[in-house]
Amino acid sequence: MSDPIQIFKPWYGEAEHEALRAPLESGWLGYGEKAREFEKRFAEYVGVKHAIALHSCTAALHLALLVSETEGHEVLTTPMTFVASNHAILMAGGQPVFCDIEEDTLNIDPADIERRITPQTRVLLVVHYGGHSCDMDALLDIAERHDLLLVEDVAQACGGSHRGRKLGSLGHIGCFSFESKKNLSTGDGGMLVTDDDAVAERVRRLRWLGISSDTWSRFNNGHEGRAWEYEVEELGYKYCMNDIAAALGLVQLEKLDRGNQLRRQLVQRYHDAFADVEGIEPLAIKEYGESACYSMVVKLEQRDGLCDFLQERNIQSAVHFRPNHLYPVYAPYRSGQLPVTEAVWQRILTLPLYPHMGEANQDRVIEGVRRFAEGQRVDFAVPQHAVGG
């Protein structure tokens, strides 16, 4: 049997191995010099004043919603995302209000958002699905007209942009994931970005248990007084990124744009290969966004059949995602119909995509999809009375 083709695969090389040497030899493995450098360079890359390194995007989302004072308020959100996006709303004491999605991009639908705004709505949480920008022109207009805070979940879209601006820099707060499968991978990790000085100051405090000054600063950064002298001003969390993850992040940031360009080339090959394949429909690419191409998602009627067909050929595939409102934990928050979401999620399948995939592996995937589609057409063409006859 051929070697397995993974659906996602981190892009690590000798530079990442070498980068780990410094923190391991320094004896300082927690939040320190590497994390601070990563924050500075990431803020410059995204084009924001503040970048705050955390141990996950879930942590970033939780803190973003806490400082947005969502407790007791409604947060308009998408069901088509990993549950972390909406768990964070509950963790912050907010009430998720699920909006329907666009059928062609699977991003949140601005028109449905308008229908669901109430006096209790405070935050609009948007997820750039698969790496492709939401319709930020419409979303920013809605947020401004209704005095809403807009939080971008950029977990799937690091390096993507909307009309030339990096995703994460358009809303009030942006939240990034550096989990193992992501475009920029530190094994696990996240970043919160903002231009709001007050938000940044509070998030820095909240990520370190509410302590007024982080440990690195108190030992290495001209802290006044003894290192153990600090204040605990409010309840916080142990959400800091460590220097091991940050060391990887610095290397990964240098190769992010190159990796994303390789992803775009592979996605274009998929689109070209499926252009004449009946029943296989890739997601749309809108002119306003340059996608980070985190995932390659297609729509088809026999989704489960294709998944099994590829698995027999040692090719991974998966569904991203089961709509969150269908999980029992979100049963209390089901209100209104989500017809597009509930129809389209049963037709989507994620195919393998990673920068170093190579054309040979991609051709195996393409051949598998084409063969399955051809077999389906043959099956449909055979009259029922002729089967077995």
Which of the residues are catalytic?
182
Scanning the chain, the segments in alpha helix (DSSP H) are 14-19, 21-26, 33-46, 57-67, 83-91, 110-116, 136-145, 197-206, 215-220, 243-274, 303-312, 339-344, 358-381
CA 26-178-357 angle, to 5 degrees, is 110
User: How many Cβ atoms are within 10 Å of 83's Cβ, its own excluded?
Assistant: 16
Cis amide linkage into residue 321, ω under 30° from 0: yes
Quote the CA–CA distance of 367 and 273 in Å, as a whole number.
9
Do 110 and 142 meet the contact criterion of CB atoms below 8 Å apart? Answer: yes
- What does the block give as tokens for 288? 């306003």
Backbone angle region of 222, left / alpha / beta, with phi > 0 → left and psi within -120 to 50 → alpha: left
Quote the CA–CA distance of 238 and 90 in Å, as a whole number.
19
User: How many Cβ atoms are within 10 Å of 79's Cβ, its own excluded?
Assistant: 28
